[in-house]
Amino acid sequence: MFLNDLVSSVGLRPVGYQFATAQGDWHDDNWLVIDGAVMSPEGSWVFADPCLLTDEAQQVAAWLRAVAAGTVAVSEPDSGGELSPDTWFTEPVVAFSLAGRSESGTSVIRVHLSLEAAPPWQRGDDGADIYQYVLEVTMDAAALLHAADQWDLSLVSFPPR
């Protein structure tokens, strides 16, 4: 899946289960390693981390489709300026929220990148707050639906075990 505009991009793809063979524990059996490639005005980086369970990974495409349909509410920072994602997962590595929507049908997606997915200059920084580093990407509904379809295709090889 590739989320991009003229300024920033985030590419995410599942590359395998954390454990190649089933271990007999639902959580251990279903952790997916996600490769990420990020380009921002501040720099570019890559990451790989077992950060999504198979059922959580399926929620990503559903959320993108809901944004494209206009059924996701814009989320604002709280009174202290802290951001909270709309869609988050067991591991707080990648999350998503909607920053804005225009009348022309474009949406501004926030991709929250924390811990292993954070920019290299923030990794290991005790002051780096979970979900507070975001990359905003502006996309139209067709691009969001395409990204959702691509994400679903990438998950076909990784069903729940």
In the chain, where are the structural domains located?
Answer: 2-155
* Predicted confidence pLDDT, tens digits, the chain (161 residues): 999 999 999 999 999 999 989 888 998 999 999 999 999 999 999 999 999 999 999 999 999 999 999 999 999 998 988 888 999 999 999 999 999 999 888 999 999 999 999 999 887 655 568 888 999 999 999 999 999 999 999 999 999 99
- Cβ neighbours of 160 (radius 10 Å): 11
- Spatial contact of 139 and 132, defined as CB atoms under 8 Å apart: no
Kindly tell me the number of DSSP H helices and DSSP E strands found in the chain: 3, 7
Q: Where do we find the tokens 């954070």?
A: 118
Report residue 38: phi and psi, to 5°: -125, 135
pTM here?
0.93
Pick the CATH number of 2-155 from 1.10.10, 3.40.50, 2.60.40, 2.30.31: 2.30.31
d(CA 28, CA 33): 12
3-state secondary structure of 28: helix
